[in-house]
């Protein structure tokens, strides 16, 4: 079965100037929020740049309801079609600026299609993964190159893997990969090695090799890795590669707003996925609840939408003011 047909409205300019809700980010969190807002009969604009994790092309095998797994792109296409069914307007574009309206009655958003107003905003813009810089690395993502042990650790069962990372968080992931395979190597970049003595001792005790080097290229034979060339000229072999360099949240456009962020730049939210700023909600990997999972992102989007919907009820639909 192929993907649902692309929406004709996805690249069109938003047809209205004001929406009950503007959702920024079209991954699982944003799409889940969009479906809920559409079913709440709220006019909703979904803005997505097309550069989120859904675009990598990986195959998800741990999302409920797909016994054989489902590609991220297909799951997104299904989500867009579902949201459109309830009147959500999808737009392929970017938000370039966001500002508060007077009396905190909503937000103005400058987008690549012009300015729109959102009475509420759900920020589900995700993160930017820090991929290795060797040529062609992005083409390997979801096939030979991965980043999440929870999502793809199962793929490494009894296989040889090369992990790329420089800090203790990468070392901890390396130790956890021993659940699946004993053939683990951690490659640390020269000049960026921040592994603690404790981490090194644990890695050594677990039989994990720690090597210093940087990947220059990866040669494939069909869909399999034939060899991995380091900048030193040394050749390594692995069946799969995992990048453990981390990620950065897409919150730069929010830093002038009175929104509380973590030191890392993630958005602080309460249990209802509300921020400290009225009518502004967040969900997915961009929040301090992030866990890089489709299931948690879908839940977060649903929660944020329910909170945003409640904020939109007029006094005549509430017992309390």
Tell me if residue 123 falls in helix, strand or coil: strand
Q: Give domain status of residue 6, yes or no.
A: no
Domain-terminating residue out of 243, 278, 303? 243
Q: What is the pLDDT of residue 97?
A: 97
Q: In this structure, are 99 and 146 located in the same domain?
A: no
pLDDT at 158: 97
- Mean per-residue pLDDT, 209-217: 97
Between CA 67 and CA 195, with CA 153 as vertex, the angle to 5 degrees is: 160
Phi, psi of 291 (to 5 degrees): -145, 15
Is 3 contained in some domain? no
Q: Which of 194, 222, 243 is the last residue of a domain?
A: 243
Q: How confident is the model at residue 240 (pLDDT cuts 50, 70, 90)?
A: very high
Handedness of CA 160, 164, 167, 172 (dihedral sign): negative
Q: Residue 100, Cα to own-chain centre: how many angstroms?
A: 26
pLDDT, mean of residues 71-89: 97
Closest by CA position to 273, among listed 291, 289, 257, 251: 289
Do 227 and 139 share a structural domain? yes
Whole-angstrom CA distances from 145 to 16, 148, 165, 263, 274 are 41, 10, 13, 29, 35
Q: Are strands 59-60 and 70-71 parallel, antiparallel or unpaired?
A: antiparallel
End of a domain among 196, 217, 243?
243
Same-domain status, 76 and 52: yes
Its sign, for the CA torsion 290, 309, 105, 82, is positive
104 and 137 co-located in one domain: no
List pLDDT tens digits, range 257-310.
999 999 999 999 999 999 999 999 999 999 998 778 999 999 999 999 999 999
Query: Could you tell me if 61 and 122 lie in one domain?
Result: yes
The span from the CA of 19 to the CA of 22, in Å, is 6
Residues 31, 62 within the same domain:
yes
Residue 7 forms part of a structural domain: no
Does this model's pTM top 0.85? yes
Q: What is the mean pLDDT of the chain?
A: 93
Query: Is residue 2 scored above 50 in pLDDT?
Result: no
CB 186 within 8 A of CB 202: no
Residue 151 has pLDDT above 70, yes or no: yes
State percent of the chain over pLDDT 70.
95
One domain for residues 117 and 254 = yes
- Give the confidence band of 15 by pLDDT, cuts at 50, 70, 90: low
Name the DSSP letter for residue 46.
E
The predicted pLDDT at position 12 comes to 54
Q: At what angle do helices 168-176 and 197-205 cross, to 10 degrees?
A: 20
**Residue 174 structural domain:** 131-243
pLDDT of residue 292: 83
Residue 79 tokens, joined: 């989500």
**What total number of domains does the chain contain?**
2
Give pLDDT tens digits for 88-138: 999 999 999 999 998 878 999 999 889 999 999 999 999 999 999 999 999
Angstrom distance (rounded) from CA 95 to CA 46: 11
CATH of the domain at 253: 3.50.50.60
Secondary structure (3-state) at 309: helix
Whole-number Å distance between alpha carbons of 186 and 203: 9
Residue whose C-alpha is closest to residue 169's, from 267, 251, 285, 247: 247
Q: Is the CB of residue 34 less than 8 Å from the CB of residue 44?
A: yes
Residue with tokens 């489902």: 70
Token pair in block for residue 151: 């999502």
Residue 30 has pLDDT above 80, yes or no: yes
Other CB atoms within 10 A of residue 277 CB:
18
Residues 265 and 285 in one domain: yes
Residues 255 and 120 in one domain: yes
Question: What pLDDT is stored for residue 142 in this prediction?
Answer: 93
**Is 111 within the bounds of a domain?**
yes
- Read off the pLDDT of each residue in 44-66 and give the average, rounded to a whole number: 93
Question: Taking the chain, what is the end-to-end CA distance rounded to the nearest angstrom?
Answer: 50
């Amino acid at each position: 079965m192929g993907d649902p047909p692309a929406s004709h409205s996805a690249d069109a300019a938003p047809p209205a100037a004001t929406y009950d809700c503007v959702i920024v980010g079209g991954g699982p969190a944003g799409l889940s929020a969009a479906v809920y807002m559409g079913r709440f009969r709220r006019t909703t604009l979904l803005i997505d740049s097309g550069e989120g994790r859904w675009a990598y092309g990986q195959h998800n095998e741990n999302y409920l309801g797909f016994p054989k797994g489902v590609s991220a792109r297909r799951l997104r296409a299904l989500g867009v079609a579902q949201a459109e069914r309830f009147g959500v307007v999808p737009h392929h574009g970017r938000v370039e600026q966001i500002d508060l309206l007077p009396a905190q009655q909503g937000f103005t958003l400058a987008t690549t299609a012009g300015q729109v107003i959102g009475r509420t905003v759900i920020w589900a813009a995700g993160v930017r993964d820090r991929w290795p810089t060797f040529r062609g690395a992005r083409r390997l993502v979801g096939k030979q190159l991965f980043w999440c042990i929870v999502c793809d650790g199962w793929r490494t069962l009894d296989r040889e893997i090369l992990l790329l990372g420089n800090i203790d968080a990468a070392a901890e992931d390396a130790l956890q990969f021993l659940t699946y395979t004993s053939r683990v190597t951690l490659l640390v970049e020269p000049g960026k090695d921040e592994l603690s003595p404790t981490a090194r001792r644990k890695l050594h005790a677990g039989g994990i090799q720690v090597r210093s080097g940087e990947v220059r290229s990866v040669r494939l034979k069909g869909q399999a890795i034939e060899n991995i060339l380091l900048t030193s000229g040394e050749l390594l072999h692995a069946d799969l590669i995992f990048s453990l360099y981390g990620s950065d949240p897409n919150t730069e456009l929010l830093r002038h707003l009175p929104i509380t962020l973590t030191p890392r730049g993630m958005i602080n939210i309460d249990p209802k996925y509300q921020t400290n700023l009225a009518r502004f909600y967040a969900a997915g990997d961009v929040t301090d609840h992030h866990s890089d999972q489709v299931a948690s992102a879908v839940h977060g989007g649903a929660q944020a939408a329910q909170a945003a919907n409640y904020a939109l009820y007029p006094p005549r639909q509430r017992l309390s003011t």
